[in-house]
Each structure stands twice: as C-alpha cells, then as structure tokens.
Amino acid sequence: MDMTRVLEVFGLGCAKCKALKRSTEEAVEKLGWQDVKILYTTDMAEVIQRGITATPALAIDGKIVLSGRYLSANKLVELLQEIV
C-alpha cells in the first residue's frame, strides 16, 4: 500500500463497540496490513456528524462500511478484502 489506510471505529463505549475495535485490530493483523491507523471515536457529535444512525460502526478511509452490528475478526477480514 502506498498510503496509510485509516480505519475508524465509532461507538459510545459499549461492549459491542469495544469488541468491534478489537476485531478490527485482529483483522488488520491477519491481513498483514502495515500502513494502517485505527481510530476509536466515542464522541456522539462526531458520530451524528458522520451520519451514523447505529453503532458500532466502521469506516475505511472516511467511508462507512458497517453500521449497527459487530463482526468477528474473520468476518471483518472477508469484508475488508471485498471493499479494498
């Protein structure tokens, strides 16, 4: 990858949101991605501003790709491979 990829996990600090952050980190590791920045946002104003109606949510390079549900690391690997 030429540029740093930014993955953002949005949530309000609940167990599912924290679990999505962990599975995102695991998925990135499984994919062997090096230039990745994973951000975790719990700011409700930011969530609303981004148009997210359900958390947890995941954005890749600014695009919301998952909203309102948790995915395991293996399922996230599949999703990330499809979109990237």
In the chain, DSSP finds a helix count (H) and a strand count (E) of 3, 4
- Please report the pLDDT score of residue 2 as a whole number: 60
Q: Which domain holds residue 56?
A: 5-83
Please give the average per-residue pLDDT across 76-83, as a whole number.
94
Q: Is pLDDT of 30 > 90?
A: yes
Number of domains in the chain: 1
Q: 36-41 and 5-10 as β-strands: parallel, antiparallel, unpaired? A: parallel
pTM: 0.93
CATH number at residue 30: 3.40.30.10
Distances (CA, A) of 69 to 28, 35, 50, 66, 76: 18, 26, 17, 7, 11
